[in-house]
Chains A and B, each alone.
Chain A
Amino acid sequence: MLDFLAELWRFMRVRKKFWLLPILIMMVVFGGLVVLTKGSAIAPFIYTLF
């Protein structure tokens, strides 16, 4: 997981996308909730959009 976070940090630095950070944190929080509540996700069905 630490590898992943370090890589995400490097990605945001290269792409200069620090403004994504608060959104990502919020999503991880809500995403965690979704996982905990076993929310379902349908399979992707149009092109490579998802």
Chain B
Amino acid sequence: MRILGISAFYHDSAAALIEDGRITAAAQEERFTRKKHDSAFPHNAITYCLAEAGITADGLDHVVFYDKPFLKFERLLETYIALAPRGFGSFKMSIPLWLREKLFQKSLLRDELKSFAEDFDSSRLLFCEHHLSHAASAFYPSPFESAAVLTMDGVGEWATTSAAMGDGNRLEIFQEIHFPHSLGLLYSAATYYTGFKVNSGEYKVMGLAPYGEPKYAKLILDHLIDLKSDGSFRLDMSYFDYCTGFTMTNDRFAELFGQPVRSPDQLLTQFHMDVAASIQSVLDEAVLRLTRSLARQTGSRNLCLAGGVALNCVANGKVLRDGSFDNIWIQPAAGDAGGAVGASLAAYHIFKGQPRKPNGADGMSGSYLGPGFAQAEIERRLAAVGARFAVLGEAAMIDATAQALANEKAVGWFQGRMEFGPRSLGARSILGDPRSPGMQKNLNLKVKFRESFRPFAPAVLREDISDWFDLGSDSPYMLIVGDVRQDKHRQMSPDEQALFGIDKLNVARSEIPAVTHVDYSARIQTVHRETNPRFHQLLSRFKELTGCPVLVNTSFNVRGEPIVCTPEDAFRCFMGNELDLLVVGNCVLWKSEQDAALKQEYSSAFELD
């Protein structure tokens, strides 16, 4: 049975294909259209999924959409009615859009799908609730026979937080917290207040938090959120504007904190770092209370997480260390893109009652579910764009890359199938030497064109993780934060210790400063031979050369750009920034050997995120 899952029309459109319960292809539309968070119907992603399986749309048994438009419309309407006459400005803008387009999503989807199969009819089209899609994306691909499932995001139809129990092929949501009370929207409100873009700047708030002190955590708990001991919560909506207005927070919110909303071009101060630290600590506490009560309620030792909030790897690390659950598995595409995978799996197991057979490994294949390119194809494509490259054997290519990394070169690494989800995991990555004290600044400012405070993540050989990090679990999807081991820390002088805020950034804090955050934490990716043998080989060779089994691993893009998808995208990005070396399959490209005329202005090519 072949089922196609679709997520679209809000943000991060994506398509995923499952064949007899196995996820065989998944990709986000933004990677093809080169438009970050593209929300359009995922034509390209669907075309790719069908091509990967070698079928046409006639070969699909069902197509499943990841949420239910009528329910969402009901929520909108009831919210406007409950709060009328406030919100009339927002009402008169959004309702016509719904009445013209969004309410007719079924026919819209059917018409779009007809471009793939002329006789496509509505009977093959199914809809799955938003949080059930998230829960299914967390549980069904997990390695567990049974598990508690927690999903948290901004909002789906009504639900913002759901607790579910999965067992075999069954998955039942037994508790929900509804809009407008939402941990995701609370975090987004802080993102907006600190001057970042809602729905993409949340990572920045998380990255900024360790530079501050959680001075306002009590203020938030006293005024903004009523957090109960079981993790349930209510927000005081008199501080927020998102139900009726066009912003996340209102004047009362700003008065509470004592400063106006930061505009994006305004300097980040210690105040903003303290707000970030405070909202992060409140989120950590809320998630911990939720997971503890879920463990008590279900008695399960396994936990699955999904929803946008599950991308908060700091909170995930706290849940892991808390010990309420022995094992945690997080869907790598925890945001709405992953809803495409979840919707198709929910249709297969729940709607169609098909059995599920977990085999001890997870079903995401390392999240390498996107397009891949054969060596001959790579050479043809690179030659067509005027690239000058050498083709090396496997061992020579690995050795040349490891040597360059050991010499502190910034390397673009393009291998195998593209990752599904927001993280680069060694298929479309920019790599660097984590031992180099200047690497973080160099990569941020010259390669990625982004703020210098943004932390980088380490990729570490699975076998060597305990030598470098305190993390009692695998973290193949870079979704859990753990500490760099104490014996790798570097003693700081009293002067260095007295530094505050961003000044802390320039102090090397461990043997691998480029990936050690100011609180000694790191967002770890464990690299496994089984899922990415080439990346594993590269790390092994780098370890032979340097004694260090760790590399800086960041997404292959610049600020505001979707991660590269094709060899041409990779070459364009390579020629637009300060990368020294690009490795695509077995092709090795040095910047110094390229035609200077192909260099291009790239830093302003994409809208800031």
A positions within 8 Å CB-CB of B = 3-4, 7-8, 11, 15, 17, 20, 23-24, 27-28, 31, 34-35, 39, 41-42, 44-50
Residues of A near B246 (CB, < 8 A) are 45-46
Contact across chains for A8 and B70 when beta carbons are under 8 A apart: yes
Contact across chains for B155 and A47 when beta carbons are under 8 A apart: yes
Interface residue SS majority, chain A: helix
Known: A8-B70, A20-B77. A48 touches B96 (CB 8 A): no
Contact across chains for A48 and B100 when beta carbons are under 8 A apart: no
Find B155's partner among A24, A35, A45, A49 (CB 8 Å cutoff).
A49
Contact across chains for A39 and B248 when beta carbons are under 8 A apart: no
Cβ distance B10 to chain A, nearest Cβ, rounded Å: 4
Contact across chains for A41 and B100 when beta carbons are under 8 A apart: yes
Closest to A33 in B: B96
Known: A15-B74, A47-B199, A48-B155. A31 touches B242 (CB 8 A): no
Residues of B near A20 (CB, < 8 A) are 74, 77-78
CA distance A44 to B71 in the complex (A): 18
Contact across chains for A47 and B154 when beta carbons are under 8 A apart: yes
Cβ distance B339 to chain A, nearest Cβ, rounded Å: 11
Cβ distance B495 to chain A, nearest Cβ, rounded Å: 44
B212 touches A (CB below 8 Å): no
B122 touches A (CB below 8 Å): yes
Contact across chains for A3 and B96 when beta carbons are under 8 A apart: no
Known: A42-B93, A48-B10. A31 touches B100 (CB 8 A): yes
Contact across chains for B198 and A47 when beta carbons are under 8 A apart: yes
Find B96's partner among A17, A23, A34, A46 (CB 8 Å cutoff).
A34
Interface residue SS majority, chain B: helix
B positions within 8 Å CB-CB of A = 10-11, 70-72, 74, 76-78, 81, 90, 93-100, 104, 106-107, 122, 154-156, 184-185, 188, 198-199, 242, 246-248, 336
Cβ distance A7 to chain B, nearest Cβ, rounded Å: 7
CA distance A50 to B198 in the complex (A): 14
CA distance A29 to B336 in the complex (A): 33
CA distance A7 to B69 in the complex (A): 12
Contact across chains for B74 and A17 when beta carbons are under 8 A apart: yes
Contact across chains for A41 and B93 when beta carbons are under 8 A apart: yes
Residues of A near B156 (CB, < 8 A) are 48
Contact across chains for B107 and A47 when beta carbons are under 8 A apart: no
Closest to B199 in A: A47
Known: A3-B122, A34-B99. A46 touches B77 (CB 8 A): no
Contact across chains for A7 and B106 when beta carbons are under 8 A apart: yes
Residues of B near A4 (CB, < 8 A) are 104, 106-107
Closest to B157 in A: A48
Contact across chains for B11 and A41 when beta carbons are under 8 A apart: no
Contact across chains for B94 and A41 when beta carbons are under 8 A apart: yes
Closest to B78 in A: A20
Given contacts A24-B77, A41-B96, A46-B248, list 16 more A-B pairs with CB under 8 A. A20-B74, A20-B78, A28-B99, A34-B99, A35-B100, A41-B94, A42-B93, A44-B10, A45-B246, A46-B198, A46-B247, A47-B154, A47-B199, A48-B10, A48-B154, A49-B94
CA distance A39 to B94 in the complex (A): 11
